[in-house]
């Protein structure tokens, strides 16, 4: 008898415990009517969770509901070691750029200065980017008051040992996800979708971050599926489907003449369909510093313009950059086991600088053909040395000449 009573009390406490650590936005006044601004309710739910002393407090955005949320910053540090943000329903952005009048147009949803954050759930984040694309200077340079900077849907700034998984992202005004100053970050099982014409809509952009993995995701967008910026190291990218999009890009690096430090980047077991690039590296001549130890392995290309490309003379306006004696040193780049088709006649294009050549390139087991039956493809290498084995089309690297 006593035993049963204790058991009931025990279960009661357990249920209480798990209840008290869940913070549903509805309990903070969120209304799922499609036009009420819910940013205050979301912030209050976040603050309650962040200040909770329970083990893993959880903010919940309930399923089968859509919540309009204005630009908002969810701020840490939080008390618990771990905190979850469960998105089961849909979060939508305001549909018109006018809602950003007078505030920072670079962001919509931001998580900042948090450790152990997990954004998860089977819900979606809809950036309603069309209004921004329609006034973008890239698509409409003639438009008076066109905009260059549009909001990134979800930013993680200074979030360590954190990650995002399972969410469906669509139609961001600009990049879908950005990490900056994050140490230890995991992206898993995301679906990211924007139309191929949507300007600057990178899938995932990484900057100044270390120890990341981006895995098991499908990305279709109007810019890079994944792009890796300056001051980034130890990044594992695996099992990604990219297309349409601009490929998986390291760069552009060194744009402002800074000292680039990027190393240990692994891109493996991924597929590119109808993209402009596959495995791409691009650096500005004004840049300095290094990009070293990069592995591209087991990649498949279908109808890709530039399956393998290094552009060390990157310039956003064709012909506007003069030849310089500076450059980001590119070394130890490994291409291994890659196959598929190219939609242009240069399937392999390593275009390196005369003054700071690419060195220690390795290519092995590469089979690239034209996407048009009967056409030939070529490999073009300029100022690039290294070794190659079983590469079609090839050879093109300069053998390493001992000095
Ligand atoms: C994240 O890690 C960096 C480097 O270790 C540290 O400086 C920063 O304070 C950490 N941030 C949080 C929110 O824990
Ligand atoms: C590649 O993309 C095209 C056009 O979207 C599609 O029809 C085709 O099924 C895709 N191929 C693969 C193997 O996914
Ligand atoms: C290499 O880069 C230079 C400078 O941007 C450009 O003029 C040239 O056409 C490129 N070569 C190839 C093969 O793409």
| Ligand 1 atom nearest to 77, measured from its CA | 13
Mean pLDDT along residues 38-67: 97
Residue 186 pLDDT more than 70? yes
> Which residues touch 330 (CB under 8 Å, ≥6 apart)?
281, 283, 290, 291, 292, 310, 312, 352, 356, 358, 359
- What is the best residue among 76, 161, 181, 182 to mutate for testing ligand 1's pocket, by most ligand atoms within 8 Å of CB? 181
**Rounded to the nearest whole angstrom, what is the distance from the C-alpha of residue 303 to the centroid of ligand 2?**
10
CA distances from residue 234 to 231, 249, 282 in whole angstroms, order as listed: 11, 15, 18
Which pLDDT score, from 0 to 100, does residue 7 have? 66
Mean pLDDT along residues 262-289: 97
Ligand 3 contact via 331 beta carbon (within 6 Å): no
In whole angstroms, what is the distance from residue 79 CA to residue 49 CA? 9
Mean pLDDT over the full length of the chain: 94
Helices (H), 36-143: 39-50, 130-133
Name all domains of the chain by residue range, CATH numbers in brackets.
17-222 (2.160.20.10), 224-403 (2.160.20.10)
Which pLDDT score, from 0 to 100, does residue 32 have? 97
Which pLDDT score, from 0 to 100, does residue 15 have? 52
For residue 8, the SS3 value is helix
With the C-alpha atoms ordered 218, 222, 225, 226, is the resulting torsion angle positive or negative? negative
Ligand nearest to the CA of 304: 2
Q: Which two tokens stand for residue 3?
A: 């035993």
DSSP tag of 25: G
Ligand 3 contact via 351 beta carbon (within 6 Å): yes
> Which residues touch 2 (CB under 8 Å, ≥6 apart)?
none
Which pLDDT score, from 0 to 100, does residue 254 have? 95
> Which residues touch 228 (CB under 8 Å, ≥6 apart)?
206, 235, 249, 250, 251, 262, 265
Among this protein's residues, is 205 annotated catalytic?
Answer: no
Percent of the chain residues topping a pLDDT of 70: 94
CA 356 to chain centroid: 28
Which residues does ligand 1 sit against, CB inside 6 Å? 76-77, 113-115, 158, 160, 183
Question: Do residues 335 and 366 lie in contact, with contact meaning Cβ atoms separated by under 8 Å?
Answer: yes
Least confident of 8-17, 152-161, 361-370: 8-17
Which pLDDT score, from 0 to 100, does residue 6 have? 58
> Which residues touch 291 (CB under 8 Å, ≥6 apart)?
250, 251, 253, 260, 262, 263, 281, 283, 328, 329, 330, 331
In whole angstroms, what is the distance from residue 315 CA to residue 117 CA? 37
Per-residue pLDDT reduced to its tens digit, 360-392: 999 999 999 999 999 999 999 999 999 999 999
> Which residues touch 75 (CB under 8 Å, ≥6 apart)?
50, 112, 113, 114
Per-residue pLDDT reduced to its tens digit, 309-351: 999 999 888 778 888 999 999 999 999 999 999 999 999 999 9
Q: Which residues pair with 109 in a beta bridge?
A: 72, 154
In whole angstroms, what is the distance from residue 93 CA to residue 173 CA? 9
CA distances from residue 222 to 94, 146, 156, 268, 349 in whole angstroms, order as listed: 21, 18, 21, 22, 22
Per-residue pLDDT reduced to its tens digit, 136-150: 999 999 999 999 999
């Amino acid at each position: 008898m006593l035993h049963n009573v204790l058991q009931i009390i025990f279960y009661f406490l357990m249920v209480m415990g798990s209840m008290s650590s869940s913070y549903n936005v509805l309990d903070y006044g969120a209304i799922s009517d499609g036009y009420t601004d819910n940013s205050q309710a979301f912030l209050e739910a976040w603050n309650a969770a962040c200040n909770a002393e329970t083990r893993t407090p959880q903010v919940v955005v309930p399923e089968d509901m859509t919540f309009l949320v204005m630009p908002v910053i969810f701020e840490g540090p939080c008390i618990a070691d771990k905190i979850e943000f469960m998105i089961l329903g849909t979060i939508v952005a305001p549909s018109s750029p006018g809602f950003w009048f007078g505030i920072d147009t670079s962001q919509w949803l931001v998580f900042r200065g948090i450790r152990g954050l997990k954004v998860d759930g089977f819900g979606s984040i809809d950036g309603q980017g069309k209004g921004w694309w329609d006034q973008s200077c890239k698509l409409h340079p003639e438009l008076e008051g066109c905009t260059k900077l549009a909001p990134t849907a979800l930013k993680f700034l200074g979030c360590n040992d954190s990650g995002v998984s399972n969410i469906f992202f669509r139609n961001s005004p600009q990049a879908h996800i950005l990490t900056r100053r994050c140490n230890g970050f995991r992206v898993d099982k995301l679906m990211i979708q924007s139309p191929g014409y949507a300007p600057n809509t990178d899938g995932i952009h990484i900057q100044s971050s270390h120890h990341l993995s981006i895995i098991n995701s499908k990305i279709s967008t109007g810019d890079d599926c994944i792009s890796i910026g300056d001051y980034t190291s130890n990044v594992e990218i695996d099992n990604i489907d990219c297309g349409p999009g601009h490929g998986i890009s390291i760069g552009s690096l060194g744009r402002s003449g800074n000292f680039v430090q990027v190393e240990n980047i692994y891109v493996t077991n991924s597929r590119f369909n109808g993209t402009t690039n596959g495995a791409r590296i691009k650096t500005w001549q004004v840049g300095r510093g290094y990009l070293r130890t990069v592995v591209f392995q087991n990649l498949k290309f279908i109808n890709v313009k530039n399956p393998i490309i290094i552009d060390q003379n990157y310039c956003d306006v064709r012909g506007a950059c003069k030849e310089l004696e500076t450059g980001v040193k590119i070394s130890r780049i490994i291409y291994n086991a890659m196959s598929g088709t190219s939609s242009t006649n240069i399937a392999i294009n390593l275009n390196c600088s005369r003054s700071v050549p690419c060195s220690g390139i390795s290519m092995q087991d590469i089979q690239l053909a034209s996407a048009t039956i009967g056409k030939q493809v070529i490999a073009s290498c300029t100022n690039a040395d290294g070794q190659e084995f079983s590469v079609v089309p090839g050879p093109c690297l300069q053998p390493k000449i001992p000095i």
